[in-house]
């Protein structure tokens, strides 16, 4: 079985949904659901990288490793970089970044992204995508789109509808051939995470507010694979939270 580690970066304060990781869902709080998914994935270790003592206290009754990290990190990847050092993971370790606000992340996708990185020796990072099937998703800036090259490596990520359909020739039934939704699930090699923290921010990263653009800007390869299973959305807003509650009740 593949040896990999899961780190869940857990930031308490969110601009769009206050303290969302501690919001109740079905007699548990949101982060607990994400942790349970992680613990079911067969990883060598699962660690929550918290930025606030409130998260540490909330997890006190759970059998889960929790580390306090700096509250100054601007991205989850920066928090992972610190966590890798705190854990003392070897440079060749595979580390999956499972965002704390993904309570319905399929276990199979966690395993898939780790395996994809293991299979791609030239990649520093691996991620997953799924075809876009609705026009509304294409023009929703909360859904990140990506372009791939012929070898399955990421070329660019954007909140805009890329590639641009100049002639308005793509009907909805053709969308899945051209447009892909990026899933916010990553696998990294530990040595790359240690290097990432020192990389300069990319100009387009600051415009798009997408941290993965820093990786491409610095010339590193991101291997992408089509998700083997449907991935339910994460929680960014109150509406997202209500949808997740409804899905869990079903």
Cβ neighbourhood burial of 239 (10 Å; 0-12, 13-18, 19+): exposed
Across residues 202-219, what is the average pLDDT? 95
Residue 242: which residues within 8 A CB-CB, separation 6 or more?
A: none
Q: Check residue 13 and give its pLDDT.
A: 85
Buried b / exposed e over 22-60, threshold 16 CB at 10 Å, is bbebeeebbbbbbbebbeebebeebbbbbbbeebeebbe
| In contact, 244 and 24? CB cutoff 8 Å | no
Cα–Cα nearest to 59, from 75, 48, 70: 48
Compute φ and ψ for 152, nearest 5 degrees: 85, 20
Q: What's the pLDDT score for residue 74?
A: 85
pLDDT at 204: 95
Parent domain of 61: 5-249
- pLDDT tens for 164-193 read 999 999 999 999 999 999 999 999 999 999
Identify the residue whose tokens are 């100049």: 166
- Kindly tell me if the per-residue pLDDT of 1 is higher than 80: no
In tens, the pLDDT along 117-152 reads 999 999 999 999 999 999 999 999 989 999 999 999
State residue 243's pLDDT score. Answer: 87
Task: Work out the average pLDDT over 5-18.
Answer: 88
Q: Max CA-CA distance within the chain?
A: 57
Query: Token digits for 5?
Result: 């580690």
What is the count of structural domains for the chain? 1
Beta 125-131 vs 222-226: how paired, if at all?
parallel
- CA atoms of 188 and 112, how far apart (whole Å): 13
Res. 236 pLDDT band, cuts 50 70 90: confident
Q: Assign residue 168 the CATH number of its domain.
A: 3.90.550.10
Name, in order, each residue with C-beta under 8 angstroms of 64's C-beta and a sequence gap of 6 or more: 35, 39, 46, 47, 48
Q: Which sign, positive or negative, has the C-alpha torsion 36, 107, 9, 233?
A: negative
Burial tier of 206 (Cβ tally within 10 Å: 0-12, 13-18, 19+): exposed
Which residues, in sequence order, are bridge partners of residue 12?
A: none
């Amino acid at each position: 079985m593949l040896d990999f580690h899961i780190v869940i970066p857990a930031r308490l304060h969110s601009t769009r949904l206050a303290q969302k990781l501690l919001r109740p869902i079905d007699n548990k709080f949101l982060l607990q659901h994400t942790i349970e998914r992680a613990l079911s994935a067969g990883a060598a270790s699962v660690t929550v990288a918290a930025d606030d003592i409130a998260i540490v206290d909330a997890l006190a009754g759970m059998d889960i490793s929790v580390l306090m990290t700096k509250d100054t990190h601007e991205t989850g990847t920066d928090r992972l970089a610190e966590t890798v050092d705190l854990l003392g993971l070897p440079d060749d370790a595979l580390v999956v970044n499972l965002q704390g606000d993904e309570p319905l992340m399929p276990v199979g996708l966690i395993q898939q992204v780790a395996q994809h990185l293991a299979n791609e020796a030239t990649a520093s990072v691996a991620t997953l995508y799924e075809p876009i099937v609705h026009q509304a998703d294409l023009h929703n800036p909360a859904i990140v789109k990506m372009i791939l090259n012929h070898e399955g490596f990421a070329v660019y990520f954007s909140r805009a509808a890329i590639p641009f359909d100049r002639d308005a020739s793509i009907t909805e039934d053709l969308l899945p051939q051209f447009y892909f939704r990026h899933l916010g699930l990553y696998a990294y090699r530990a040595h790359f995470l240690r290097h990432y923290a020192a990389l300069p921010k990319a100009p387009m990263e600051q415009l798009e507010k997408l941290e993965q653009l820093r990786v491409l800007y610095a010339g590193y390869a991101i291997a992408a694979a089509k998700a083997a299973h449907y991935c339910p959305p994460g929680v960014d807003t109150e509406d997202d939270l209500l949808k997740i509650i409804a899905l869990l009740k079903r």
